[in-house]
C-alpha cells in the first residue's frame, strides 16, 4: 500500500432552512432582517409550561425534498429530544428525529467533470435550528445571543460516504442546493446561513484481517457556510489524513479509530481540533413527549409526490434530446427552474427551440448576469420575448437590431413591434437599397478592397461592417454579404 492507494472517503451532512413563513413549533415569523430577539415568543424562548405545535408546511416541504431524493417515507417517524447545553439553545434540548427519520435510503446523481456520480442519501430529517451567538470582537470579552433563528425549520440531509474527492463534495453540495431551490423547499441563500455543511472526511487505508475496508479516523468539520469552504476544507483534511497516516501507519491498526470534531478557519485555510466526537448517548435522546409521532397517510404522501416537478437533471437531458440543445446550453437553461420554464414558453410560442435557446443564452442570460438578478426580475414576459424572436425570424428586423430592441424593451417595457415602428428599425432587405450601402462602403474603403483582392480574406468582414454601418445597422446581413461578394468577385 502506497500513499497513492489511499481513497478519499467523504460523507456530507447538510442543513438547510425550509421556506416556511413561520417557525417549526410556534407562530413567530422566520425573518433574516429583523432586529435581534424581535421574532421570539415563549415557545421558541423555551419558557416553562409551553407546548410545541408542529408546522405542517415544514413537514410537507421536508417530505417533498425526501421524495425528490428518492427516499422512502416510513410509516412512522418520531420526534426526539437531543440534549445539550449551549447559550443559543434556551430549552437545553433540540427537537430532532433520532432513530426514526421521515426519509431514508435515497440518492442524488451529481454531474462532475468526469461524468455523473451517484451519492447515496442515508436519511433526511427535520429539526429546529438554534439561535446565534455573537462574540464581541473589540476585546470586550463577552458574547450576545440573538434568538430570532431559534426554532427555524431545519432539514438535515445525511449522505453515504460515497464521495471520493473535494471537487465532488462541492458538486454534491451545489446539486443539493439546486434541487432544494427547484422544489421550492428552501431559498438556500448561503450568505444568510440558510444552508450549512459538515463534511465527514476519512481515507480508506486498505483492508483489515476480517476483509473489511479500514479507514483513518473520521473528522467531522463543523459549520461550513460556502461551497468554496467545503472544497478547501476537504482538500486540507484529506492531505492532513494522508500525511499523518503515511508518517506512522503502524498506529492505524486498531479496530475502532474513533471520530473527532474539527473547526475550520477560512482565512487561514486550516482545520483545528475542537473535541473528540460525542457519542449518541451523550445527548440523552428520548422521544419528545409533547409531539405525536408522524404517521403519514399514504394518499397524502402521493399528493406531496405530485408536487415534485421535473428535476434539473432529467430536464437537462430532455432539453438535449427533445430540443437538440448543446450540453452546455441545456445545463445553463435548466440550472434554475424559472429560467427553464421561461425558455420552454418562448420555444413553444416561436415553435423553434434552437432559436429560443440562442436568445436565452445570448441576451437574457447576459442581462441576468450583468444585473446579478433572477429571471423573475427580468421585467419581460416570455410572450414579449417571443414576439421579438418572431420579428427577427420573419425578417422584419435583423438579429443585431433584435438585441438592440431587446434592450429597449427592458428599458421601456414597450412591446417589440412598437419599438421597431417608432424607432424605424425595420430591416432593409430591398436589393437596390442594400446595393447602395455596399457601393458606399466600397467607395470609401478602397484600401480595404485592395487588401481583399490581395488575398486578405479578413478584409471582407471589415467591408461587411462598413456596409452595415452605412445602413444604420438595418440591412439584411445575408444580402449585404451576397452583393459584396458578387461585386468583389467581378
Ligand atoms: Zn416563537
pTM of the model: 0.83
CA of 65 to the centre of ligand 1 (A): 25
Residue 140 pLDDT level (bands cut at 50, 70, 90): confident
Report how far Cα 392 is from the mean position of its chain's Cα atoms: 33
The DSSP string of 146-179 is: E-TTTT-EEEEEEE-S-B-SHHHHHHHHHHHHHH
Q: Percent of the chain scored above 70 by pLDDT? A: 97
Instruction: Say if residue 474's pLDDT is above 60.
Output: yes
Q: Is the pLDDT higher at 212 or at 122?
A: 122
CA of 143 to the centre of ligand 1 (A): 22
Closest CA to 429 of 390, 392, 465, 403: 392
Q: Is the pLDDT higher at 257 or at 361?
A: 361
pLDDT at site 239: 96
Instruction: With beta carbons less than 8 A apart as the criterion, state whether 229 and 235 touch.
Output: no
Over residues 161-187, the mean pLDDT reads 96
302's grid cell: 402521493
Instruction: Say if residue 43's pLDDT is above 60.
Output: yes
The DSSP string of 254-293 is: -S---EEEEEEETTTTEEEEEEEPPPGGGGT-EE-TTS--
CA of 42 to the centre of ligand 1 (A): 6
CA of 432 to the centre of ligand 1 (A): 76
Residue 254 pLDDT level (bands cut at 50, 70, 90): low
Instruction: Say if residue 291's pLDDT is above 60.
Output: yes
pLDDT at site 425: 86
Residue 280 pLDDT level (bands cut at 50, 70, 90): low
Distance from C-alpha of 195 to C-alpha of 227, rounded to nearest angstrom: 10
Instruction: Say if residue 137's pLDDT is above 80.
Output: no
Instruction: Say if residue 5's pLDDT is above 80.
Output: no
CA of 75 to the centre of ligand 1 (A): 29
Closest CA to 220 of 245, 232, 243, 237: 237
Instruction: Say if residue 52's pLDDT is above 80.
Output: yes
The DSSP string of 451-465 is: HHHTT-THHHHHHHH
The CATH architecture of the domain made up of 431-489 is Orthogonal Bundle (1.10)
CA of 95 to the centre of ligand 1 (A): 14
Helix (H) or strand (E) holding 259: strand 259-265
pLDDT at site 249: 85
CA of 138 to the centre of ligand 1 (A): 31
Residue 264 pLDDT level (bands cut at 50, 70, 90): very high
Instruction: With beta carbons less than 8 A apart as the criterion, state whether 197 and 234 touch.
Output: no
Instruction: Say if residue 155's pLDDT is above 90.
Output: yes
Over residues 275-284, the mean pLDDT reads 72
CA of 429 to the centre of ligand 1 (A): 68
CA of 331 to the centre of ligand 1 (A): 41
Instruction: With beta carbons less than 8 A apart as the criterion, state whether 406 and 388 touch.
Output: yes
Over residues 380-390, the mean pLDDT reads 96
pLDDT at site 283: 87
CA of 485 to the centre of ligand 1 (A): 75
Main-chain dihedrals φ then ψ at residue 85, nearest 5 degrees: -105, 120
CA of 28 to the centre of ligand 1 (A): 4
CA of 41 to the centre of ligand 1 (A): 4
Instruction: Say if residue 333's pLDDT is above 90.
Output: yes
pLDDT at site 209: 81
CA of 50 to the centre of ligand 1 (A): 10
Residue 351 pLDDT level (bands cut at 50, 70, 90): very high
CA of 92 to the centre of ligand 1 (A): 16
CA of 206 to the centre of ligand 1 (A): 50
CA of 153 to the centre of ligand 1 (A): 12
Residue 142 pLDDT level (bands cut at 50, 70, 90): confident
Q: Which residues contact 71 (CB under 8 A, 6 or more apart)?
A: 103, 104, 105, 106, 121, 123, 124
pLDDT at site 250: 81
Residue 257 pLDDT level (bands cut at 50, 70, 90): low
pLDDT at site 86: 87
CA of 282 to the centre of ligand 1 (A): 27
Instruction: Say if residue 256's pLDDT is above 80.
Output: no
CA of 37 to the centre of ligand 1 (A): 10
User: How far is the CA of 367 from the CAs of 76, 370, 373, 405, in angstroms?
Assistant: 48, 5, 8, 13
For the chain, domain boundaries: 3-305, 312-416, 431-489
**pLDDT per residue over 408-466, tens digit each?**
999 999 999 999 999 888 888 888 999 999 999 999 998 999 999 888 888 899 999 99
CA of 23 to the centre of ligand 1 (A): 7
Distance from C-alpha of 180 to C-alpha of 188, rounded to nearest angstrom: 8
Which is it for the CA torsion 425, 426, 430, 431, positive or negative?
Answer: positive
**Residue with C-alpha cell 484529506?**
238
Over residues 27-50, the mean pLDDT reads 96
CA of 152 to the centre of ligand 1 (A): 9
Instruction: Say if residue 275's pLDDT is above 90.
Output: no
CA of 382 to the centre of ligand 1 (A): 41
CA of 21 to the centre of ligand 1 (A): 12
Over residues 252-281, the mean pLDDT reads 80
Distance from C-alpha of 99 to C-alpha of 286, rounded to nearest angstrom: 10
Distance from C-alpha of 326 to C-alpha of 330, rounded to nearest angstrom: 6
CA of 189 to the centre of ligand 1 (A): 22
Distance from C-alpha of 249 to C-alpha of 101, rounded to nearest angstrom: 38
**Residue with C-alpha cell 425526501?**
66
Distance from C-alpha of 121 to C-alpha of 310, rounded to nearest angstrom: 19
Mean pLDDT of the chain: 92
Instruction: Say if residue 379's pLDDT is above 90.
Output: yes
CA of 126 to the centre of ligand 1 (A): 17
Amino acid at each position: 500500500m502506497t500513499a497513492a492507494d489511499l481513497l478519499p472517503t467523504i460523507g456530507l451532512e447538510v442543513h438547510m432552512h425550509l421556506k416556511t413563513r413561520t417557525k417549526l413549533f410556534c407562530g413567530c415569523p422566520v425573518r433574516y432582517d429583523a432586529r435581534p430577539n424581535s421574532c421570539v415568543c415563549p415557545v421558541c424562548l423555551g419558557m416553562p409550561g409551553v407546548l410545541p405545535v408542529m408546522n405542517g408546511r415544514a413537514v410537507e416541504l421536508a417530505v417533498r425534498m425526501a421524495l425528490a431524493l428518492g427516499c422512502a417515507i416510513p410509516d412512522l417517524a418520531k420526534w426526539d429530544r437531543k440534549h445539550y447545553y449551549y447559550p443559543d439553545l434556551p430549552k437545553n434540548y433540540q427537537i430532532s428525529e433520532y432513530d426514526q427519520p421521515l426519509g431514508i435510503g435515497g440518492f442524488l446523481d451529481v454531474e462532475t467533470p468526469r461524468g455523473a456520480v451517484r451519492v447515496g442519501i442515508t436519511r433526511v430529517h427535520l429539526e429546529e435550528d438554534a439561535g446565534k451567538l455573537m462574540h464581541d470582537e473589540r476585546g470586550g470579552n463577552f458574547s450576545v445571543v440573538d434568538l430570532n433563528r431559534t426554532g427555524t425549520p431545519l432539514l438535515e440531509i445525511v449522505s453515504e460516504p460515497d464521495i471520493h474527492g473535494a471537487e465532488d463534495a462541492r458538486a454534491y453540495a451545489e446539486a443539493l442546493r439546486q434541487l432544494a431551490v427547484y422544489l421550492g423547499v428552501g431559498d438556500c441563500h448561503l450568505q444568510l446561513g440558510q444552508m450549512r455543511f459538515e463534511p465527514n472526511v476519512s481515507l480508506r487505508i486498505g483492508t483489515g484481517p476480517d476483509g473489511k475496508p479500514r479507514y483513518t479516523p473520521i473528522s467531522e468539520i463543523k459549520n461550513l457556510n460556502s461551497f468554496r469552504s467545503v472544497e478547501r476544507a476537504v482538500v486540507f483534511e484529506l492531505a492532513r489524513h494522508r500525511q499523518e497516516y503515511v508518517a506512522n501507519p503502524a498506529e492505524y491498526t486498531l479496530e475502532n479509530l474513533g471520530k473527532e470534531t474539527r473547526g475550520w478557519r477560512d482565512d487561514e485555510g486550516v482545520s483545528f481540533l475542537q473535541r473528540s466526537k460525542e457519542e449518541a448517548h451523550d445527548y440523552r435522546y428520548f422521544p419528545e413527549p409533547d409531539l405525536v409521532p408522524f404517521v403519514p397517510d399514504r394518499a397524502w404522501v402521493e399528493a406531496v409526490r405530485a408536487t415534485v416537478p421535473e428535476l434539473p437533471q432529467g430536464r437537462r437531458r430532455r432539453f438535449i434530446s427533445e430540443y437538440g440543445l448543446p450540453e452546455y446550453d441545456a445545463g445553463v437553461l435548466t440550472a434554475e427552474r424559472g429560467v427553464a420554464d421561461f425558455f420552454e414558453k418562448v420555444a413553444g410560442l416561436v415553435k423553434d427551440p434552437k432559436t429560443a435557446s440562442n436568445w436565452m443564452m445570448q441576451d437574457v442570460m447576459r442581462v441576468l448576469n450583468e444585473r446579478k438578478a433572477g429571471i423573475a426580475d427580468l421585467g419581460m414576459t416570455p410572450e414579449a420575448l417571443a414576439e421579438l424572436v418572431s420579428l427577427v425570424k420573419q425578417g422584419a428586423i435583423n438579429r443585431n437590431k433584435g438585441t438592440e430592441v431587446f434592450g429597449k424593451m427592458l428599458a421601456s417595457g414597450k412591446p417589440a413591434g412598437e419599438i421597431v415602428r417608432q424607432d424605424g428599425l425595420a430591416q432593409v432587405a430591398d436589393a437596390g437599397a442594400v446595393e447602395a450601402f455596399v457601393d458606399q462602403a466600397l467607395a470609401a474603403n478602397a484600401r480595404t478592397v485592395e487588401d481583399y483582392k490581395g488575398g486578405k480574406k479578413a478584409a471582407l468582414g471589415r467591408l461587411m461592417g462598413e456596409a452595415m454601418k452605412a445602413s444604420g445597422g438595418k440591412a439584411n446581413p445575408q444580402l449585404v454579404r451576397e452583393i459584396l461578394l458578387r461585386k468583389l468577385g467581378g
